[in-house]
Structure 1
Amino acid sequence: MSVHERSSRDAWTVANAKARLSEVIERAQNEPQTITRNGRPSVVVVSVEEWNRKSARKGSLAAFLLGSPLAGSELAVGRVSDEPRDIGL
């Protein structure tokens, strides 16, 4: 399969991403582009709009926790009251 026939789900190798950086950037405008190193996913290139949408703060941690589906579920969280173990130093 040539680079031109690449499925949008396939990843770019570092070498191909370097050689075709303009195309990686252009495709990242529509969907995230994965770049692999040594055959393993290493980084993902996304558009600025996608980055801003995913990384935007949406209130405080307290607001996030209160908005959880578990809020008001009466979930009981207990702690173990064991003593610390002795270790020799």
Structure 2
Amino acid sequence: MTIIDRPAPSAPRLRRGSHVRLAAAATALWRVIDDRGRIIGHLEALAVDGGGTRFRARRFHTASGAFRDLGEFWSADDAVDCLRLGR
């Protein structure tokens, strides 16, 4: 898998009632913001051989000063759920 390297794709559509919004952070990368306005992590789109897209859930780890990958999912909703429920 590789990070998508083409013009920034539009933000993935999340299911209704997800209680988060996405804000563009970079090409194929979005901040996941909860309904209180807090950034709870990042969603990254990854190109898969054969034309598919996977979504990586990432969270900043303050103590190490680095991002930690929480998992890769076939659905943006599942990646967002990982961020929402894993707090």
TM-score above 0.5: no
Q: More helix by proportion, 1 or 2?
A: 1
- Higher RCO (CA-CA < 8 Å; seq separation 6+): 2
Q: More strand by proportion, 1 or 2?
A: 2
Query: Rg larger in 1 or in 2?
Result: 1
What is the TM-score when the length of structure 1 is the normalising length? 0.23
What is the TM-score when the length of structure 2 is the normalising length? 0.23
